[in-house]
Each structure stands twice: as C-alpha cells, then as structure tokens.
Amino acid sequence: MSEATSETVKHAVDALSIVTVVGTLADMLPSIAAVFTIVWTVIRIYETDTVQGWFGKKGSGDAE
C-alpha cells in the first residue's frame, strides 16, 4: 500500500471515528463502538511525531 493510500485510509477511519463518537454520545450506537473509537484515537495519537519523540522512538532527523 502506498503512503498516499495509507494516509487516505487513516483519514477515512479518523472520520468514521468522529462519527462514532458523536453517535455514541447521542445514544445512537452501542457503547462498544466508543471503546473501539477510544482505542483507535489512542493509537493515532501515539503515532504522532511529538509522542514518538517523547518515547525516543523518532529522532529529529527521521522526519518524512
């Protein structure tokens, strides 16, 4: 999968995640959907350069 396709998929799942949060807060979806959304959001936050820097997993020269 190319990087552009990968980013497109991530954005689509992020949008789905937001819709899931709104739906859950409006009592339209079961609470299990909220758990999956929280897990996905935590994974996405963990993947950011800032958090990776905190854990020493990404050096300043590793920028894409």
Predicted TM-score (pTM) of this structure: 0.48
Q: What is the structure's pLDDT at 29?
A: 64
For residue 22 the two structure tokens come to: 């709104």
Q: What is the structure's pLDDT at 26?
A: 76
Mean pLDDT of 40-60: 85
Residue 32's pLDDT band, with cuts at 50, 70 and 90, is confident
Q: What is the mean pLDDT of the chain?
A: 81
| Total residue count of the chain as it appears in this document | 64
Q: Residue 61: pLDDT above 80?
A: no
37 CB burial (10 A radius; 0-12, 13-18, 19+): buried
